[in-house]
A and B are shown apart, each in its own frame.
Chain A
Amino acid sequence: EVQLVQSGAEVKKPGESLKISCKGSGYSFTNYWIGWVRQMPGKGLEWMGIIYPGNSDTRYSPSFQGQVTISADRSISTAYLQWSSLKASDTAIYYCARHANYGLVDCWGQGALVTVSA
């Protein structure tokens, strides 16, 4: 069974850094794009970016380019989403998303709530 298990909820202050994770299992981690989708409180889904763990090729939405960093460690089948300096507007649920191909998410993680508040 394909599974994506994300790290837990986080509470941070503005300006702090954060790295959340997503561990894939039940499939060949290096052969699928994996990425992140943001959902702000009460709002819709926003595609952030993807990485191909096989060669670390990474694509970002223009809206998120330079704001976050997506990475992966194929030795432990884990993808990451990282911020260097959080803002209150980063408060959201972040879903890990396996992509069967560009633009098609065929498996979702359970979501991780990130709260940024002074």
Chain B
Amino acid sequence: QSVLTQPPSVSAAPGQKVTISCSGNSSNIGNNYVAWYKQVPGTAPKLLIYDNDKRPSGIPDRFSGSKSGTSATLGITGLQTGDEADYYCGTWDSSLSAGVFGGGTKMTVL
């Protein structure tokens, strides 16, 4: 059971938009920055979004992040087949004094 809650799967057609939610509490998302990671099966994860809504260099603006209260959302527009992957949210949990991840969301492009 992960500390952060994500939907197990989402799907959408090429060119469409999808959102992935990440729910936590005041000890983690509520008082800390959220990051999002993309993991193509068989490869290492990669940073997609940091500090709730910032994109590292090289990440296209099709990817966006937002946070409200104790929840965060990853948005992907103009879906491409290369976007098929597992997506994880992550943050710090001040009560645990540890990093925490969501359980991951498998994103399928139909």
Contact = CB atoms under 8 A, between A and B. Distances in A.
Real complex partners, A and B?
Answer: yes
Interface of A: 35, 37, 44-47, 49-50, 59-62, 95, 99-111
Contact of A106 (B39, B56, B93): B56
B99 A47 contact: yes
Contacts of A102: 32, 92, 99
Interface residues of B, number: 28
Contact of B35 (A37, A46, A105, A107): A105
Contacts of B33: 101, 103-104
Nearest to B86: A44
Interface of B: 2, 32-33, 35, 37, 39, 44-47, 50-51, 56, 86, 88, 90-93, 96-104
Contacts of B50: 100, 104, 106
Contacts, number: 73
Contacts of A104: 33, 35, 47, 50-51, 90, 92
Contacts of A110: 44
A48 to B, nearest CB: 9
A44 B104 contact: yes
Contacts of A47: 90, 98-101
A44 B100 contact: no
Nearest to A60: B98
Contacts of A61: 96, 98-99
